[in-house]
Chain A
């Protein structure tokens, strides 16, 4: 199964799986990849987003200190 066929299958069956797949596919296709610094800056932005979301979830489950 090629990438496009898989993406189409995912879109039909698994919306979130398709979303992740499409994000990765979009990041790696097109006329040309962005420059190295843009790609790494995007990666850092994604990591920062993961850290912020994780810390928000952890804070919800951590009792406030008296």
Chain B
């Protein structure tokens, strides 16, 4: 299971620079982040159903995923309305800060070492997908 998540994160990194206009590349990277989280969620729910994740950790992780998804929607909306490169970078930098915060809270709260690692790998995948956008716009994280 850990391998699946690690490879999912790797997939984001490998596929994170699509062809197309710069704005299309940015939107595609935003879409990649959402696909990675969806993939992680499917794995996490299956792991819980298989008894590999405790109910307490499962509930916490799903609550965090709501926050991640809300962050994603906010970032998408921000990217839509940004009129400058700096504006887009700001949208993504804010989203990355939220991901980092959620990752840190997961490290503190999730009791199962396995679930914690899965969660951190998934959020690293999201962070990587978002960081691609900053790179496309010529910024640095």
Chain A interface (Cβ < 8 Å from any Cβ of B)? 3, 6, 10, 14, 16-17, 19-21, 23-25, 27-29, 32-37, 39-40, 42-44, 46-51, 53-55, 57-58, 61-62
Contact = CB atoms under 8 A, between A and B. Distances in A.
Contacts, number: 152
Given A21-B7, A39-B24, 17 more contacts: A6-B10, A16-B43, A17-B4, A17-B7, A20-B4, A20-B36, A21-B8, A33-B27, A37-B80, A40-B31, A43-B72, A46-B37, A46-B38, A47-B76, A51-B66, A51-B69, A62-B59
Interface of B: 3-5, 7-8, 10-12, 14-16, 18-21, 23-28, 30-39, 41-43, 45-46, 48, 55, 58-59, 62-63, 65-66, 68-70, 72-73, 76, 79-80
Nearest to B64: A54
Contacts of B80: 36-37, 40
A43 B65 CA distance: 15
5 contacts: A20-B4, A33-B24, A36-B26, A44-B73, A47-B72
Contact of A43 (B10, B24, B27): B27
A20 B31 CA distance: 12
A41 B123 CA distance: 21
A29 B74 CA distance: 26
Max chain B CB contacts within 10 Å: which of A6, A16, A37, A57?
A57
Contact of B19 (A17, A33, A37): A33
A28 B59 CA distance: 32
SS class, residues of chain A in contact with chain B: helix
A27 B7 contact: no
Contacts of B28: 27-28, 33, 39
A16 B46 CA distance: 11
Contact of A53 (B25, B41, B70): B41
Contacts of B15: 3, 21, 24-25, 27-28
